[in-house]
Amino acid sequence: MAAFFCGYLSGISVLSNMKKRNGLFITFEGIDGCGKSTQAKKAFSLLKKEGYPVVLLREPGGTPVSEKIRKILLDRNLDINPEAELLLYEAARAQITAKKILPVLESNGIVICDRYYDSTIAYQGYGRKLDINFINRLNRVASYYTTPDITFVFDVNYQTSLSRRNKTPDRLEKEKQAFFNRVRKGFKELAGKRRIILLNGKKDIETLSEQVLTVVQKAVAGKKIKLAG
């Protein structure tokens, strides 16, 4: 009970210090090789070309500290225990959120992020079987209570994922099929949330891009994002 109230009160103090976030926050999610980066780049290029204030970021990464953490997380020669892995992802997230994401959202810009906290629920929660309530609490802290406005999840099976990856797998990609099946299931279950749009990642790049851009353009208009400059 005491722990609940402490958490609740610290949440209130974070919320009361928050500046208005009128920007648009879009995240791209799914298992390795599902097409996140391809689609995130396409959405970024289009919005940039149209003159909107938009940044493209990736997780883990996006700041000097977070990129160093990324190197540790993806190093296939390191043996990192699941709790340490979770905390490293959250540390990288707190840094990119504070330094890069919030300033853009507070100045009415658009943030496109290649992975965000749904990946932690899917990989460390469903994949590594860590406690999802605990992960949700860490996600709230590391995101400064920020929620993406729209999240695209590209669903592909393990075989498709494997066929699209680099030859040398990183530390996470070295995991077995059963792990990725759990992660995929996690993303599909998350897709019950209203902000999450589940797309069939096996469709061709252009068809998917049209689906993504239709949603993005509607959201940009809905948020009344002004052109840069």
Ligand X SMILES: Nc1ncnc2c1ncn2[C@@H]1O[C@H](COP(=O)(O)OP(=O)(O)OP(=O)(O)O)[C@@H](O)[C@H]1O
Sheet strands side by side (includes 150-155): 54-58, 110-114, 24-29, 150-155, 196-200
| Contacting range for ligand X; rule: CB under 6 A; set: 71-79, 103-111, 197-205, 214-222 | 197-205
196 vs 193: CA distance, rounded Å? 6
CB of 194 to ligand X, least distance (A): 23
| Contacting range for ligand X; rule: CB under 6 A; set: 67-75, 120-128, 196-204, 220-228 | 196-204
> By Cβ distance, which residue is nearest to Mg ion?
37
Binding mask 20-49 for Mg ion (x = CB under 5 A): -----------------x------------
CB of 212 to Mg ion, least distance (A): 15
Residues facing 138 on adjacent strands: none
Q: Please list, in sequence order, all residues whose beta carbon lies within 8 angstroms of the beta carbon of residue 152, skipping any fewer than 6 positions away.
A: 26, 27, 28, 29, 39, 196, 197, 199, 212, 215
Q: Is 147 an interacting residue with respect to Mg ion (CB under 5 A)?
A: no
123 vs 194: CA distance, rounded Å? 21
Binding mask 19-48 for ligand X (x = CB under 6 A): -----------x-xxxxxxx----------
CB of 189 to Mg ion, least distance (A): 22
Q: Please list, in sequence order, all residues whose beta carbon lies within 8 angstroms of the beta carbon of residue 15, skipping any fewer than 6 positions away.
A: 145
Indicate which of Mg ion, ligand X, none lies near residue 205 (CB less than 5 to 8 Å, by partner kind): ligand X
**Tokens linked to 168:** 């040398």
Indicate which of ligand X, Mg ion, none lies near residue 42 (CB less than 5 to 8 Å, by partner kind): none
Q: Please list, in sequence order, all residues whose beta carbon lies within 8 angstroms of the beta carbon of residue 175, skipping any fewer than 6 positions away.
A: 127
CB of 181 to ligand X, least distance (A): 16
